[in-house]
Amino acid sequence: MINKTLGILELENKPMMHPGALSAPGTFEFPVNRLTVPGATTRNVVDGDLEVKDAYIRGARQLEDEGAAAIIANCGFSAVFQAEVSAAVSIPVALSSLLLVPLVAKTLPPGRKVGIITYDASKLKDNHLVAVGWSSREIAVAIAGIEGSESWYQFAQPVPVVSQALLISDVMTAVKSLVKTEPAVGAFVFECAGFPLTAGAVRAETGLPVADYVSLAKILIEMIPPSRKSSTIQCGCSYTSAQ
């Protein structure tokens, strides 16, 4: 057991709890402390509502006080809060899986692109990318989303009803469309925290690497020293600090 606790700042929308999902018990071999950010929903965070920034900052400080060794979020669009939240605490913060794009890009041969699969491609703008340290002018990316799908609709509901099979189908549709229009895609980064459930299927179908929020969490915990604070979590299970 790794004696380091990961803090997750979560949207008010109930996260997916299928085995292997980011917030599901047993996904990680280290403790997890989940905290709901008041006022943060799929709709307003994706739409770029900056009024919830202070709630993210307060949540990060609470997680740090409760012994978290590092903090992530469960929506890639929270990238816009990265600088302010990381400045508010003394532990590592990686709010968005979009932070992985430069790393993945460096693993590819010249001429290849990173395919970003997102919850809503119409909402993902360059300001999200710049907020986590890079831009589409510096790194070749191709973006596709699941907007308009049943999963897209459900993820915006307070309690989404999404089977793993449905999500795989909707994500795979976006993946296949992107590969068809952008054959230079050499790897994928999944923006949405719900998409790790589909990563295995996408790897098998495309033969390409996939990085996602679960990848980010594991990298973050592995790279830091053991927490100096005593964790409030004594097992590998998740719990929610606030609802």
147 - beta bridge partners?
none
Averaged pLDDT for residues 126-131: 96
- Residue 28 sits in the same domain as residue 91: yes
Averaged pLDDT for residues 164-191: 98
Which residue bears the tokens 């790790």? Answer: 196
* Residue 124 clears pLDDT 60, i.e. is over it: yes
Q: What is the percentage of the chain residues whose pLDDT exceeds 70?
A: 92
Q: What is the SS3 assignment for 14?
A: coil
50 in a structural domain = yes
63-113 pLDDT tens trace = 999 999 999 999 999 999 999 999 999 999 999 999 999 999 999 999 999
Higher pLDDT, 88 or 225: 88
Query: Is-above-0.85 flag for pTM?
Result: yes
- Residue 149 sits in the same domain as residue 55: no
CATH number for the domain spanning 153: value is 3.40.50.1860
> What are the start-end ranges of the H helices in 70-114?
82-88, 101-106
Which amino acid is it at 91?
A: I
DSSP annotation of 47 reads T
Which pLDDT band, with edges at 50, 70 and 90, does 159 fall under? Answer: very high
Residue range of the domain that includes 178: 97-212
* Residue 227 clears pLDDT 60, i.e. is over it: no
- Residue 81 sits in the same domain as residue 147: no
* Residue 132 clears pLDDT 90, i.e. is over it: yes
If one counts every other C-beta atom within 10 angstroms of the C-beta of residue 23, the result is 19
Structure tokens at 115: 């395919």
Residues 212, 231: Cα–Cα separation, whole Å? 25
Q: Output the pLDDT for position 190.
A: 98
51 in a structural domain = yes
7-21 pLDDT tens trace = 999 999 999 999 999
- Residue 58 sits in the same domain as residue 86: yes
20 in a structural domain = yes
Q: What is the percentage of the chain residues whose pLDDT exceeds 90?
A: 91
Q: Output the pLDDT for position 2.
A: 59
* Residue 242 clears pLDDT 60, i.e. is over it: no
Which pLDDT band, with edges at 50, 70 and 90, does 3 fall under? Answer: confident
How many domains does the chain divide into? 2
Which pLDDT band, with edges at 50, 70 and 90, does 225 fall under? Answer: confident
228 in a structural domain = no
Q: Output the pLDDT for position 34.
A: 98
243 in a structural domain = no
